[in-house]
Structure 1
Amino acid sequence: MTRDRKRVDGQWALGEREPLNANEQFKQAEDPLLVRERIEKTYAREGFASIPPDDLRGRFRWWGLYTQRRPGIDGGRTATLAPEELDDEYFMLRVRVDGGGLNVAQLREIAALSTEFARDTADITDRQNIQFHWIRVEDVPEIWRRLEAVGLSTTEACGDCPRVILGSPVAGVSADEVLDGTPAIREITERFIGDPSLSNLPRKFKSSVSWLPDVPFQIHDLSFLGAEHPELGPGFDLWVGGGLSTNPRLADRAGAWVPLSEVAEVWAGVAGLFRDYGYRRLRNRARLKFLVADWGVQRFREVLEQEYLGRRLADGPAPVLPASPVDHIGVHKQRDGLHYVGAAPVVGRVSGTRLAALADAAEAHGSDRLRLTPYQKVLVLDVADPEPLVRRLESLDLRVDASPWRRATMACTGLEYCKLAIVETKARAAELVAELERRLGDQRADITINLNGCPNACARTQVADIGLKGQLITGPDGSQAEGFQVHLGGALSLSQEDEAALGRKPRGVKVLADDLPDFVENLVRNYRADRADESETFTQWLTRAEDSQLTP
Structure 2
Amino acid sequence: MSPSQTEASQTEATRPARPPRPASRPNGQWKVDGTAPLNGNEAWKQEDGGLNVRERIEEIYSKQGFDSIEGTDLHGRFRWWGLYTQRKPGIDGGKTATLEPHELEDKYFMLRVRIDGGQLTTAQLRVIGEISEDFGRDTADLTDRQNIQLHWIRVEDVPEIWRRLEAVGLQTTEACGDVPRVVLGSPVAGIAVDELLDPTEAIADITARYIGIPELANLPRKFKTALTGHPSQDVVHEINDVGFVALRHPELGLGYDLWVGGGLSANPRLGERLGAFVTPDRVADVWLGVASIFRDYGYRRLRNKARLKFLLADWGPEKFRQVLEDEYLHEALPDGPPAPTPTQQGDHVGVHKQVDGRFYIGVTPFVGRVSGTMLTGLADLLEQHGSARLRTTPHQKLVLLDISEENVEPLITALDALGLAARPSLFRRSTIACTGIEFCKLAIVETKQAATDAVLELEKRLAGIAVPQPISLHVNGCPNSCARIQTADIGLKGQLLPGADGGQVPGFQVHLGGGLASVGRDEAGLGRTVRGLKVTADDLADYVERIVLRFLADRGDTETFAVWAHRADEEALQ
TM over 0.5, yes or no? yes
Alignment RMSD: 1.3
> How far apart, CA to CA, are the structure 2 residues paired with 1:444 and 1:282?
49
1:466 to 480, 490, 501: 490
Query: Where does residue 342 of structure 1 map in the other structure?
Result: 362
Q: Over alpha carbons, which structure has the higher Rg?
A: 2
List runs of 5+ in structure 2 lacking aligned partners.
1-21
| Partner-residue secondary structure (3-state), 1:27 | helix
Per the alignment, residue 567 of structure 2 pairs with: 544
Residue of 160, 165, 169 corresponding to 1:142: 160
Q: Would you say the 8 A contact 1:306–1:312 is kept in 2?
A: yes
Structure 1 CA distance for aligned equivalents of residues 50 and 389 of structure 2:
33
Does the Cα contact within 8 Å between 2:113 and 2:147 map onto a contact in 1?
yes
The one-letter code of the counterpart of 2:280 is L
Moved more, 472-481 or 73-82: 472-481
Does 2:407 correspond to 1:382?
A: no
Distance 1:497 1:150 in 2: 41
Conservation of the 8 A alpha-carbon contact between 1:424 and 1:453:
yes
- Cα deviation, 1:475-529, whole Å, max 9, x if unaligned, reads 2333211110000000100469722100011111001111111011101111112
Shift in Å, 1:25: 1.3
Q: Deviations over 1:285-319 (max 9, x none)?
A: 00000000000011001001111111101111110
Task: Tell me what 1:170 maps to.
Answer: 188
Match of 2:4 in 1: none
**Quick one: which of 63, 69, 92 aligns to 2:87?**
69
1:209 aligns to what? 227
CA distance in 1, matches of 2:344, 2:503: 40
- TM-score, normalised by the number of residues in structure 1: 0.98
Q: CA deviation at 1:324?
A: 6.0
Answer whether contact 1:9 1:16 (CA < 8 A) is retained: no
Once the two structures are superposed, residues 164-217 of structure 1 have per-residue CA deviations (whole angstroms, 9 ceiling, x without a partner) of: 000000000111112101100000000000010000000000001111201101
Distance 2:527 2:521 in 1: 18
So what's the TM-score if we normalise by structure 2? 0.94
1:322 to 336, 342, 365: 342
1:134–1:390 distance in 2 versus 1, CA, 3 Å? same
- Asked if structure 1 preserves the Cα contact closer than 8 Å seen for 2:520 and 2:560, the reply is no
The residue type equivalent to 1:486 in the other structure is: V
Deviations 1:6-26 (CA, angstroms, capped at 9, x unpaired): 310000011432211221111
Distance 2:441 2:461 in 1: 34
CA distance in structure 2 between the aligned counterparts of 1:25 and 1:365, rounded to whole angstroms:
53
Counterpart in the other structure of 2:327: 307
- CA distance in structure 2 between the partners assigned to 1:357 and 1:548 by the alignment: 48
- Letter paired with 1:405: F
Corresponding residue of 1:517: 541
Aligned counterpart in structure 1 of residue 263 of structure 2, from 235, 238, 243: 243
After TM superposition, list the pairs within 5 Å mapping 1:62-461 onto structure 2: 62-212=80-230, 213-323=233-343, 325-385=345-405, 386-445=408-467, 446-461=470-485
Counterparts of 1:478 and 1:550 in 2: how far apart (Å)? Answer: 26
Secondary structure of the residue aligned to 2:327 is: helix
- 1-side partners of 2:133 and 2:167: how far apart? 18
Offset of 1:323 from its aligned partner? Answer: 4.7
CA displacement 1:375-412 (0-9 Å, x = unmatched): 00001101113111111111111001100100100000
- Measured in 1, the distance between the counterparts of 2:343 and 2:142 equals 26
CA distance in 2, matches of 1:325, 1:415: 31
Other-structure match for 2:511: 487
TM superposition shift of 1:321: 2.1
Aligned mates of 1:397, 1:496 — CA distance in 2: 31
Q: Deviations 1:81-127 (Å, cap 9, x if unpaired)?
A: 01110110000000000000100110010011000000000111000
474-483 or 458-467: bigger deviation: 474-483
Whole-angstrom distance in 2 between the partners of 1:537 and 1:546: 16
Q: Is the 8 A contact 2:196 2:247 kept in 1?
A: no
In structure 2, what residue type is equivalent to 1:479?
A: G
Secondary structure in structure 1 of the residue aligned to 2:491:
strand
Matched pairs, number: 548
Q: Is 1:43–2:61 an aligned residue pair?
A: yes
1:274–1:5 Cα change, 3 Å: farther
The code of the aligned residue for 1:131 comes to Q
C-alpha distance in 2, partners of 1:506/1:116?
A: 47
Q: In 2, Cα distance between the equivalents of 1:250 and 1:495? A: 18
Measure the CA separation in 2 of the matches of 1:281 and 1:519: 42
Q: What SS does the corresponding residue of 1:237 show, helix, strand or coil?
A: strand
Give, in angstroms, the shift of residue 543 of structure 1: 2.9
Separation in structure 2 between the aligned mates of residue 50 and residue 66 of structure 1, nearest angstrom? 16
CA distance in 2, matches of 1:376, 1:497: 22
